[in-house]
Structure 1
Amino acid sequence: MKKFLLKLIIVTSLTWLASPVFADWTDIEEISISKSRPLFDRTNRVYVVNVQIQNDSDEDIQGPLRMLVKNATIGVTGEDGLSESGAPYFVVSEASLPAGQSVSVKTTFEPNRARLAFDAVIQKADPNVAIYAEAEGGSAGTLLFKGNAFSVIEGDPSFVTINETDTNAPTDDARVIELEVAFPDAGEYTLYARVRVGPNTVEDDSFFLPT
């Protein structure tokens, strides 16, 4: 997971919610999944289950693809990473899964004599799903610094607002917010800012985003 530091300088009075957009993961439905019997790997001391994933649709499923392991009765080991919700996952393919074709994913579990059962959920990266990084800290964002000119208004949603309008260029960090945004992978991302302005419309809608 990559992290990006976003520094915002607020010039006039407004309420602010930052919403960087990056690829989210969505479940794939038009597939069939079969699992092999668990086999014990004595060399690596893990249980191995091969999961066969077949594309049942008439179109290629574009990657990258991953398989989440959920509700496992035995601990997962050797996973490629953890999902945003903390579920272990194994990479299926960085490319596509052609229509009618299948791929096998090796999953590994801790050596435990308990009965092994788990659910496999296949996901693909969807670049059109937005994830919010909230300026007050939340979702993919962590508020690292908030200048003393700001207040956080709690509610649904909560938001950051500046206390007084000042159209002059900032001379200190009182009107600066530093927000750390966590991205799942390196790459190019588009930043959208959702801003709720004050009652004076065009006089209440300015902020400066340094590069």
Structure 2
Amino acid sequence: MENTNQYLLSNDEEIINTFIKGLQEINITTFEQLRLECKARNITTFTDFFEYTRSHEAPETLSLGAELLLNRVKAIKREKMESFCSSSQIGYYLSNVLSGCYQEHLMAVYVDVKNKIIAEKVIFKGTLNQAIIHPRDIFRWAIIYNAAGFFLAHNHPSEDLTPSEQDIQVTKKISSVSECMGIRFLDHFIVNTGNYLSFKEMELL
């Protein structure tokens, strides 16, 4: 089975690259240089280091990279959910999964007939619109995983959970294809840091 934690890798590379670029801006390119810089600034713990990155002395790129890295660490410390019992359970779970993402992500969670999670897949990163997202990108993986149903979730980096007209139209389009394919489209969530909106609960699906 494909690694179900793959969504964690979707933007890890860019996070690490941002962090490294920030270090390079203060002429740190090796671990030894980093050690000496920490010693010179009396940085002895990770807490000290992150406090430094939040100060006015740290380059903006390093501050951003450190913040993204910290958010990523927080995101992966949660318990893995293998199945769901309610919309609120999976809604909050997906909110946690997508926390710390500064770009819009569309993620699918595929389940079997008993609603046990088979796999989680980031479908794309960018702006959700009909020109970019196509149902085949979602149903291709549903077929590969032999899924009986799926949830969709996308984050709003603005933190506003209000669905756009494009969100609603894309959801309706995917719902229509779902009926033809015989694969249940269980819900679509818009999430931000710590909260969610369910299309099903809002009777938009």
Task: Compute the TM-score of the two structures, normalised by the length of structure 2.
Answer: 0.28
Q: Which has the higher contact order (CA 8 A, sep 6+)?
A: 1
The structure that is strand-richer by fraction is 1
The structure that is helix-richer by fraction is 2
Task: Compute the TM-score of the two structures, normalised by the length of structure 1.
Answer: 0.27
Rg: which structure is higher?
Answer: 1
